[in-house]
Structure 1
């Protein structure tokens, strides 16, 4: 199977914010995914707040989730707070499940 941003996004659904116990994709924490034919993956993401204490744990989970995929040679995770995360970034399904719609 060819590595693509869509495939990486699906793999990241297994990465959970340890405080909220919700996956980082549905939470809207993943901003961008870039893949190269050489097996390099870069994930640009955010946290729910700049002071979030679980950033290192989430980065470790991202590395773990992606590094085991055949052909992945390097995984980079970078955090940004521009734009800042808001609940509106959550998937429609998660917002509905949490009663935020």
Structure 2
């Protein structure tokens, strides 16, 4: 049986950071994704830097990707700064893609 977290992360892996060309899961921006019995989905995430000009664009992509899942009715994005993002959070594939 697949957990919602795995399903949610797979959906979020389709959201590409337009500036870097790498998915937001691979970048390590997504800390958690949950869905309750009412279909309310909460994404806990960070950004590579405060004041990122792509925040709204990423939020739209996240919302669209998750609302495409049959069990999701609403999406809430919880933007956090702790723990702070660093390149250590990136997947090996993302590091290779970006030459890090």
Superposition TM-score, scaled by structure 1 size: 0.88
- In the other structure, the counterpart of 1:32 is 32
Structure 1: 5+ residue stretches without partners: none
- Give the Å deviation of 1:96: 3.2
Q: CA RMSD in A?
A: 1.7
Contact 2:35–2:72 under 8 Å retained in 1: no
- Give the Å deviation of 1:99: 3.4
| Range 34-43 or range 90-99, more displaced | 90-99
- Give the Å deviation of 1:87: 0.6
Structure 2: 5+ residue stretches without partners: none
Q: In the alignment, does 2:10 pair up with 1:10? A: yes
- Give the Å deviation of 1:3: 6.5
1:57 to 1:37, Cα distance in 2 relative to 1, 3 A: same
Equivalenced residue count is 100
- Give the Å deviation of 1:98: 3.2
- In the other structure, the counterpart of 2:99 is 99
Map 1:45-84 to 2 at 5 A. 45-84=45-84
- In the other structure, the counterpart of 2:41 is 41
